Amino acid sequence: MYCYTGENVINEFIAQMHREERRIRSILSANESMIELTTEERAKHEYATACISCHQKFAVTARIKTLHHCNVTGKYIATICHLCNLQLNYQRSSTEHFFIPCFFSQQQQ
């Protein structure tokens, strides 16, 4: 959260939105390799029979079992099919836009 009271409120708002955009892009540009699975995670993956995202059963050619992980932290998230894994990946492009919620209040005088 960022709170500002002072001169040039609009200019400060726009500057803060640009800072926030740079911060978000920096986070989302990470591409960490997956951290080695724990014994429990490996067993969970081995015994999974259906994708937790689409609930379809895994198949050798149609719905391949895939290890889904966070590209920012490298941590294993779940076992999902490769189709859902592609859908859940952050799509990188130079024209990406982000929704940043903003809340305003009017100061009582």
Residue 55's region, left for phi above 0, alpha for psi from -120 to 50, else beta, is left
Global pTM?
Answer: 0.61
92: its two tokens:
């990188």
Q: Closest Cα partner for 84 from 52, 107, 60, 59? A: 52
pLDDT digits (tens, 9 = 90+) for 10-19: 899 889 888 8
Res. 93: pLDDT tops 70: no
pLDDT digits (tens, 9 = 90+) for 30-57: 778 899 999 999 999 999 999 999 999 9
Q: pLDDT-derived band of residue 21, with 50, 70 and 90 as boundaries?
A: confident
> Backbone phi, then psi, for 7, in 5-degree steps?
-75, 155
pLDDT at 81: 93
- What is the C-alpha to C-alpha distance for residues 88 and 61, in angstroms, rounded to an integer? 20
